Amino acid sequence: MANELVFADLTALRDMLERGDVSSVDAVQACLGQISTHGDRLNAFTEVFADDALTQAKNADQMRGNGEVSGPLHGVPIAVKDLLDIAGRVNTGGTQCWKDAPPAVQSAPAVAALEKAGAIVIGKANLDELAFGVASQNEHFGFVNNPWGDNMIPGGSSGGSAVTLAAGMAYAALGTDTGGSVRIPAAVTATSALKVTTGLISTEGCFAVSGTLDSVGPMARSVRDLEVLLDLLEQTSALRTKPGKLAGNGVSGLRLGIEEQHFFNRSRMSAECQTVMDSVLSDLESAGIELVPIKLPSIGYAEAAQKAIVLAEAANYHSGRLREFRPLYGSIIKPNLALGDAVLAGDYLKAMDFRFVLAREFAAAFEDVDFLVTPGVPFAPTTHDVENYVWPDGSSDHIFDAVWRNFFPTNLVGLPSLALPCGLSDVGTPIGLQLIAQPLCERDLLAAGTALTREFSWQFRAPGM
C-alpha cells in the first residue's frame, strides 16, 4: 500500500480517502517521507511547510470524520510554484531579492481556488529564477534535478512542480507557462500538464514574465486529474471552456494534424525521439485515427516574434521600482532583461501583429482536423552541463531554443495544449507528446488525452529512484 499511496494519481487518492482506506495525514506523511529521502538530491522545493501541512491534514481528517468535506481536493497535498502568492508566505519568484519581502496577504486566485476546494499546500516548488529558463537552473535556491537520472534537467521553468509529482512529493501542482513552462517539465518527467487558453485562469498574484503570453497551468500525474483541477481553476476568470463534444468511447475517427516544417522536422528531432514518434504515429493510425498533413506557412518566423514580445514585456515589468533589484538578479535573467530594454517599439508591434497572422493559420488548419499533434521536447532530457544541443545533421542550438521549440507557438497564439507521456528513449528516459486544440476547447482536449492514455497505456511511470 505504501508505494501505491506515494505514486497514486489525484483521482485514485480521492477514492482512497473517500473509502477510508487512507487518511489525509497518511497522504501528507507519504509526501514528506519522499521529501525527506530524496529532497536534497532533487531540490524540488524552495520551502516545505511540513508542520502546517500535518496540522491541516489532521483537521481535514477530523472534518471528514464529521461528514464535512470542503471540496473535491479535501485533504490532498499539492505543490505551488514559487511564483504564485500563498497567503502568509513570501513569494520569492525564485530570486534572493524577495526572500525578505512581506508575506502575501492573500493567495493568488488560482491557489485560493484549490485551497477552497480543500487542498493542502505542502510547499513552494523550485523554478528558474523569475521563470526565465527551461532547465530549472536556479542560482539562488540551487538546480532542480530530474528523478529519472543523475544531474538531469527536469525542464523549466516549472521544473520543481513537475519533480514533486514524479518523485511522489505531491499529488498535483501549479505552474506557469509563457513558452512551455508547464509542458516542458511534464514531457521530461512522464507527467501531464495543461497550458490553457490565454486568460482562462487568472494570473493575478503571480510574478509576470510576459503579460500577454503568461498562463497559470495545472500539473498532475494523469490527464484525468487535470480535468479535476481545471473545473476549479477556470472559476478564477470570466472566460469559460466550451462544452465537450467528444464521445467517451475511444479514439477511432479522430483527425490529428501533422505539421512537418517545424513540429515534425526530422532534422530537429533526435534519433531516439524519431523512433518513439514513428511508433506513436503508427499506433495512432492502427487505432483508426486519421493523420492529416497541415501547413503553417509562417511558423518559421514565430520564434523571433515570441522572443521580441517576451523580452520587451519582461524588461518593462522589471522597470520602475523593480529596476533597483536588477543588479541582484542572476546571470541568466540579467542579460535577457538588457536585451528586452533594447527591443524597439516597432519590432515589438510587428511581433504583436504577427500573432494574428499565425493565429489565422492555426485556425485554417483546424478546419480539417480535431487537434494538432506534435512531439514534446524533441530529444531525451540532457544533463545540466549541456549548453548547446547538437542535432542529427550536425547543427546545434542553444539548449533553450532546442527545448522550447515545440511549445512556445501555442503561447504566441493563445491556444490550449496538453503534454502527456508517450514512451521512453533508448536509455529509458521519458519522451512526451503534445496535443493542441482550438481556443477554449480544453474539455475536448482533455477527453482526447484521457482516451489516448487509456488506448495506448501512456501512463505516468514512477522513476527508478
Task: Establish whether 81 is a catalytic residue.
Answer: yes
131: exposed, middle or buried (Cβ count in 10 Å: 0-12, 13-18, 19+): buried
Q: Whose grid coordinates read 501541512?
A: 53
Note if 195 is an active site residue: no
Closest CA to 148 of 386, 397, 424: 424
Task: Identify the bridge partners of residue 375 per DSSP, sorted by sequence position.
Answer: 433
Question: Which residue out of 24, 136, 181, 417 is catalytically annotated?
Answer: 181
Helix (H) or strand (E) holding 350: helix 345-365
Q: By C-alpha distance, which of 385, 186, 211, 217 is closest to 311?
A: 211
Which of the residues 23, 24, 107, 157 is marked catalytic?
Answer: 157
Radius of gyration of the chain from its Cα atoms, rounded to whole angstroms: 21
Query: Which residues have a Cβ under 8 Å from the Cβ of 119 and sit 6 or more positions away?
Result: 73, 76, 77, 78, 172
C-alpha to C-alpha distances, 364 to 105, 263, 290, 413, nearest whole angstrom: 45, 17, 18, 13
Contact 50, 33 (CB under 8 A): no
Q: Which residues contact 367 (CB under 8 A, 6 or more apart)?
A: none
Look at residue 462 and give its three-state secondary structure.
Answer: coil
Per the residue annotation, which of 23, 81, 202, 237 is the catalytic one?
Answer: 81
Whether 99 is catalytic is no
Q: What would the DSSP string read from start to end of 161-217? A: HHHHHHTTS-S-EEEEESSSTTHHHHHHHT-EEEEPPTTSS--TTB--S-TTT-EEE
Contact 42, 255 (CB under 8 A): no
Greatest Cα pair distance in the chain? 65
State the DSSP string of 355-403.
HHHHHHHHHHHTTT-SEEEEESSSS---BTT--EEEPTTS-EEEHHHHH
Cα–Cα distances (Å) from 416 to 32, 196, 431, in that order, read 33, 4, 20
d(CA 280, CA 155): 22
Burial of 89 (0-12, 13-18, 19+ CB in 10 A): buried
For residues 53, 421, 304 and 264, what is the CA-based torsion angle, rounded to 10 degrees?
180
Task: Give CA–CA dist 149/152, Å, rounded.
Answer: 5
Strand 255-258 to 388-390 pairing: unpaired
Active-site residues, by number, are: 81, 157, 181
